Each structure stands twice: as C-alpha cells, then as structure tokens.
Structure 1
Amino acid sequence: MIKKIPVKDLQLGMYLYELHGSWLSHPFWKTSFLLEDPADLAKIKASGVVSVSVDLSQSKVMSAKEPRQPDSPSPVSVAALAVPELKTTPGSFQNELKRARELCNRSRSAVTKMFGEARMGNTVTMAEARAVVDEISDSVSRHPLALITLARLKTSDNYTYMHSVAVCAMMVALARELGMTEEQVRDAGYAGLLHDVGKMSVPDVILNKPGQLSDEEFQVIKSHPEKGQEILLRAGDIPPMVIDVCLHHHEKYDGSGYPHGLKSEDISIYARMGAICDVYDAITSNRPYKKGWGPAESLQKMAQWKGHFDSALFQAFVKVVGIYPIGSLVRLKSQRLAVVIEQNEKYLLKPKVKTFFSLRSNMPLPQIIVDLAVSGQEDSIEAREHFENWNFPYMEELWQSGL
C-alpha cells in the first residue's frame, strides 16, 4: 500500500517510494529504498521536500500516521527567509526549568565524581553514566530546551563537568530530531556525557588558563581525545560508538580536524553530531579567556564556518535549539531590545520575547512579554545583537524569570 505523508512524519524503518516537491539539490541518486540511516533521514528533512510517499507493505514500522517526534515540515537555516513550523513540546519551558536546575546540580556532582575517578586512574563504567543519562533524557523528553539552555551557565571551576551535561542533553535532543531509536538516543547521550573525559589527563593549569595557550600547551589540549579513548577502553563495557565520539568529536567535515584528519562520511554520524553539540556549547559559554557569544550569534557564526560541520546535521540541530535560541538578544523593528524567553509553538522565526530596553531613548523599559506570532502583531525581529556590544548585567535573569 502506497501512502503519501508529510515529511515531518517520516521516520526510520519506512520504505521510501517517492519524493514530492522541488529542492535545490537532490539528496539521493535513487528515490525508492528502505530508510535505515539517520543521516539519510536528516538529508531528506533538510532538502526542502514537502511530502513523500511510503510503501507500507515494505516498511518496518507499524504505522505511517504517528511520527516518533513532531518535527518541522520545511527546512531551516540561520538566514532562512521562509517561516518553518516549530515542533511542539509536551511541557512548559518554565516548569521544566525548575526541575532542570535540580538536575544540573545532581548531574554535575555525578559527573565530577565520575571524572574524578578517571583522573585518579580508576575505571569509568557505563553503570555510573546510565543514571545520569536517563535523567537527562527524561528532562529532554519533557522539554528539550530547558536543560540545554540552563546548562550554558557555567563557572570556570565546573566548566568541564557542566559542558559534559550540556552536550549530553543536546546529543539526546538531536538524536530524537533525527528519528533515532531510543537505544540509539541513549547511546548518543552516553557519548555526549563522556566525550571530554580525556581532559582529566590535562593539567588544570592548562585547562583553566586565562590567557592564550602556548604551542606546547595547545598540543597537550589536543591530546585529550586520544587520552579519553585510552580511559574508556580500560573500562571494557563502553559501547564502541561512545569511544568513537570521544576520539573523533574534533574532526571536521572537510578533513581539517584532529586527531586523524577524517573527512565527511569517514566520520561517524555520532561524531559529526558530537562536533556540532560540543562547539555550540563551548562558544556560548563564558571561559576564563573569553566571554561566551550569544546563542543566535553562535549559530550564525557556525553556519559561516564552511567545511566544519555536516550541513544536514547542522540544519537538524538548528531545528532543535531554534533560529533564535532561548536567551538570544535581539533587536525588534520597534527599536526595542528583547531577550528570547521561549520558542513559539508554531514558528521558529517568531518566538516569545521579553522587551526591556529602548534604542530610541537609550533607556531601560518596563519589561513586557511579546508573542511575535500572535495574529495582528506588527513587531518582528530585525536583527541579532551581540552580547559584547552591550553591558547588561542581568541578561540571564531576563529569560530565567519566566512569563
């Protein structure tokens, strides 16, 4: 039986019979095949195809009616002109934010203990990681952005541990966006949690150095993927994919990364996912030597780094966090500054924002919530603003204080 469905309902295990609509670059040399590779699913969702026909008789899933996870039906890019729909989420961002604060504290403590064992030369086991990943995965299921957004807030003392929590959450959310199985989603979470365990072999004086690293110090930093591989191999019960992400999350799609200079499809899809999540969290976080960029600005810069990332996976990642992620500083057409406080249920380009500053008077304003997607709302986002161009001391409080 041939059934035509929106591309948002497409999932792994379906037999692709025909692609409908037009796109700039046909993602495949064939159009009829069993969809088994998450990378192929990502390519289709990023291609601009609106709908597809599937052969239910040859599919390996029970139904073509219910998608694994609601998804955007049209492709997005950081500079998108079209307005793609945003997937809905089952819980309130603010409600999950309260739970995520407690989870961050528990996860940080667990990861600190686990990585401390690695620093002392003791074995890291999957049993130690499993409880942390399960809790993070449950939080992401309730609302994918709460923990991801909150985990951006780090100190120099807990950066490595909270970075691992953040990358774990993003890997889980991205894996779900790609339609992976729950087993694959959890493995992606384990990979995110353990990807930087090799930094336990790097002296703190280098990890937390406030100034520029010397060439010798940078070489020590670049050794952490291989050190991490050694730590995980000693454990004996770590899935090979988790070890692969640990070793290759600094590879780049054009082959200019390290430690092995792997290129394009030679890098596993999980390592390509890890590269995106790792970089996004790193550049949005404050470090001893550099203040973090704003979330929207970070996506814009990442989109400009040609050859660094798998473009289809990056498109899927943008769908996860939004074109204007929560916490982004934006300028409205009304010449007010606002911070994004929640993704809109229908449109990625029209989030809910909190206005707080007038560019015309150069004065603070009473804080007002504006839903840019409300019918009749004439205001809109005119541009991203860079955090470093302003000296607002209360940016984080604005998006955390709720609606």
Structure 2
Amino acid sequence: MAKQLVPIDELQLGSYVTGVASQTGDVVIKHAGWVRSELLIATLKQKGVSAVFIDPEQQLPPPKELPAAPAESVTPVVKPRTDFMQECARTELTLQSTRQQTAVTFEKMAQADNVDLTQPSQNCDKLLESSSRNPQALLYLQQVLQEDDALLRHAIRCACLMAAFCQTLQLPEATAQQYTLAALLHDAGKAQLKQLFPQEQPTDLAALPYSLALLEQSACTAEVLETVSGHLAPLAEQSGGAPLLAIVNRYANLQELVEQNKLSGPQLSAQLLKSAGQSLDARLTQQFLLGIGLYPPGSAVRLKSGKLALVLENHPKYADKPKVKLFYHSVHRHHLPAKVLDLAKLPEEQIVGAADLSEFALDLRQYF
C-alpha cells in the first residue's frame, strides 16, 4: 500500500486515509477509509490532527454535485451576512407570526376545512429571506424555540431547518419556497388525528395519508405533495424535495430526544449519519450537517479553560471557532457573567467538545 503524508489543511474529499501522522490530541484511526465529507475533515482538525497518511492509489473521483440545479438557474450572488443579533431579533417576529398562522391552519385542517395557503407560503418566504441574510439566526432560533404544543414546535422547527438547508444547497427561490412549505405542513394530518382520537399519539406514518388528503384539499402544488408523500418512503423511492424533508424531519425528531435528555448532541449527529445511505441520502445528509455546523447554534460546548458556553453563530470558514456566550465554569462549579466570545479571535481559548449539562444539573434553556 502506497503511503503519502498530507497536511490536514490539504486533505481532499475522496482521499483514502490510513492513519494519523501528527497531532496534538489522541485520535486513533482504527480502520483505513475514505474521506467522504467536509464535516469529517473539520472534526479531525478540531481534535488536533495536523497531518495524516493517505494511499493516493485509492483516491476516489470528484463527487457529483447534489442536488443538480435546473439548467435555467443562475449562480446566486453571495451576499454579506447581516449581524447575527439583529437578524435574530428580526426573525423572532417572523417566527411569532408563523406560529400564530400555523396554529390557525392546523385548527382549520383538523376540522377538514379548506385552507388558503397564501399566508403560510408568505411566512415561508420570510424564513427564506432570513436564511439568505444569515442562516445561523434561523438555526439558533429553531434550537431555542419555546413552544408547548409539540406539533407546532416540530412544524416550525422543520420549516426553519429546511429554509437553512435550501440556503446551504443554493436552491432556486421557487423550489426552496415549496420545500419549506412542505416542511411546515408535512404533519398536518396529526392535527386531524388528535381531534378524532385525543387519547392516542399518532405516528408519522399513520398521519401521512391524512396529511396528503388535507394538502390536496387545500390545493397545494404537486411539488409540495411529492415532497411530503415521499419523505417517509425508502430512499430509492424518494424524489423531488422528499430526500431533504426526510433528513430535516429525522433531525428534528432527534432534537426532541436531546431535549428530553435521552440523547446527547454528538449522538444526534451520529444517529443521523447512521441513517445516511439507508433511509437518508448520504451526500445530502453530509451537506445538511455541514450547514448545521460542527457545533450547532444553540448547543452547549466545553472550552479548554473549563468554561461552558452556548454556541451562537458558527464561523463561515473555521468550523471549530464559533461565537459563543459563556454561562458556567465546569471546574469551579459556578455561573459566569454572560459574555460573548469570538473564538476565531482568541487562539488561546478552544472548544474541547460538546458539554453534557446533565453532569452539572443545568438546563440549557435557562441560558438562551
């Protein structure tokens, strides 16, 4: 087997890594394998790997871009990000409006009434506009969303995640709007089932036929129907926006488990990747996680100093150097004055990993 030393900054997708050449941590590569995602490279960097050995003879060809953009689409103009805090304040109002309108929509659908989708569509447009200004704000707000109604919480969370996902993939505006609307309304059938059977907890699969019937009755587009109808189907049968909604829906469901302390943040990503190539499209799953970030906005991390912090906004270039807000010291076991740090400007302070707040009997929701 040929062996070539490659600095971690020069490691490319498709490289066949055989071992770690140099590092400041203790990473051990038990099995040789291909680098199939930027997320893996970012993780190796974060763990202190500075160089690896690869076998150049087993280099994979360049991956195909997914999903393919329509021939008539044009390359979007990259706009500068708006200020994170300003965008959060602006988008919070949008989420309040979306929450109120979606509650009304679900109530009407529960009564099997015809629903005008103009307002929900406009709300989705606003979410996409926010995502184009700064997708980190949407990712943060869906994570910290305070909503007692589980159906509403899941619907809004999925719409936010889908809007950010569409921005990551740079999809055409019209397509992104339809996919985001599908994400917002994909569980509409649960509202009707809860009305019919208040003592039961409807599953996604049981609610799907009801959702499709209600969406057809509301004269939604074929694109929305295709996205909703296929998101629970086997991977080979998913088409249109269904592969994207399958990922978004699965991620949002796993988030619920994290909030119930049944799953940790790192386990969430691991669970999602476990489904990649099976029920979820592998490359799209990697793209989604890249957009979410190594440390998703709204998650808790432990710093080298022992301080715990809430991730606010990921750096557009350095996955391991987000902006964070301090709130607790894990060594001295006391709260800290809230302070925002830009880790990209503080080389002496680094993230050592995700923080398990149950170890300190802390509730992350208190620090948003």
CA distance in 1, matches of 2:236, 2:15: 22
Letter in 2 for 1:170: L
> CA 1:118 to 1:301, structure 2 compared with 1: closer, same or farther past 3 Å?
same
Q: Is the 8 A contact 1:116 1:200 kept in 2?
A: yes
Give identity over the alignment, percent: 22
Pairing partner for 2:352 from 373, 382, 390: 382
Q: Is the 8 A contact 1:123 1:234 kept in 2?
A: yes
CA RMSD between the two structures: 3.4
Matched, 1:246 2:228: yes
Q: How many residues align?
A: 315
Name the counterpart of 2:361: 391
Q: Is the 8 A contact 1:118 1:200 kept in 2?
A: yes
What SS class does the counterpart of residue 283 from structure 2 fall into?
helix
> CA 1:335 to 1:269, structure 2 compared with 1: closer, same or farther past 3 Å?
farther
Q: Is the 8 A contact 1:140 1:146 kept in 2?
A: yes
Residue 162 (structure 1) shift: 3.2
> CA 1:297 to 1:378, structure 2 compared with 1: closer, same or farther past 3 Å?
farther
Pairing partner for 1:278 from 237, 249, 253: 249
> CA 1:153 to 1:384, structure 2 compared with 1: closer, same or farther past 3 Å?
closer
Q: Is the 8 A contact 2:194 2:202 kept in 1?
A: no
CA distance in 2, matches of 1:204, 1:323: 40
Pairing partner for 1:234 from 202, 214, 217: 217
Pairing partner for 1:203 from 190, 194, 199: 194
> CA 1:278 to 1:272, structure 2 compared with 1: closer, same or farther past 3 Å?
same
> TM-score, structure 2 length as denominator?
0.74
Name the counterpart of 2:309: 338
Matched, 1:349 2:312: no
CA distance in 1, matches of 2:182, 2:365: 28
> CA 1:23 to 1:378, structure 2 compared with 1: closer, same or farther past 3 Å?
same
Q: Is the 8 A contact 2:14 2:61 kept in 1?
A: no
Letter in 2 for 1:187: Q
1:357-368 equivalences in 2 (<5 Å): 357-368=328-339
CA distance in 2, matches of 1:89, 1:328: 24
CA distance in 2, matches of 1:296, 1:104: 27
CA distance in 1, matches of 2:261, 2:197: 18
Name the counterpart of 1:44: none
CA distance in 2, matches of 1:40, 1:324: 28
Letter in 2 for 1:203: K
CA distance in 1, matches of 2:68, 2:231: 20
What SS class does the counterpart of residue 345 from structure 2 fall into?
coil
> CA 1:184 to 1:123, structure 2 compared with 1: closer, same or farther past 3 Å?
same
**Unmatched runs of 5 consecutive residues or more in structure 1:** 1-19, 42-58, 71-87, 210-216, 252-261
What SS class does the counterpart of residue 202 from structure 1 fall into?
helix
Pairing partner for 1:124 from 89, 97, 115: 115
> CA 1:218 to 1:166, structure 2 compared with 1: closer, same or farther past 3 Å?
closer
Name the counterpart of 1:225: 208
Residue 40 (structure 1) shift: 4.8
1:262-341 equivalences in 2 (<5 Å): 262=234, 264-285=235-256, 290-291=260-261, 297-305=267-275, 307-341=278-312
> CA 1:168 to 1:69, structure 2 compared with 1: closer, same or farther past 3 Å?
farther
CA distance in 2, matches of 1:92, 1:240: 37
CA distance in 2, matches of 1:276, 1:61: 24
Name the counterpart of 1:158: 149
Residue 227 (structure 1) shift: 0.9
Q: Is the 8 A contact 1:248 1:267 kept in 2?
A: yes
Q: Is the 8 A contact 1:328 1:339 kept in 2?
A: yes
Pairing partner for 1:133 from 112, 118, 124: 124
Letter in 1 for 2:173: E
Residue 189 (structure 1) shift: 1.3
What SS class does the counterpart of residue 280 from structure 1 fall into?
helix
Name the counterpart of 1:175: 166
> CA 1:180 to 1:223, structure 2 compared with 1: closer, same or farther past 3 Å?
same
> CA 1:220 to 1:349, structure 2 compared with 1: closer, same or farther past 3 Å?
closer
Q: Which is helix-richer, 1 or 2?
A: 2
What SS class does the counterpart of residue 232 from structure 2 fall into?
coil
CA distance in 2, matches of 1:266, 1:350: 39
Q: Is the 8 A contact 2:193 2:207 kept in 1?
A: yes
Name the counterpart of 2:184: 193
Q: Is the 8 A contact 1:125 1:238 kept in 2?
A: no
Matched, 1:39 2:67: yes
CA distance in 1, matches of 2:145, 2:139: 12
Q: Is the 8 A contact 1:229 1:246 kept in 2?
A: yes
CA distance in 2, matches of 1:61, 1:131: 22
**Unmatched runs of 5 consecutive residues or more in structure 2:** 1-11, 17-33, 37-59
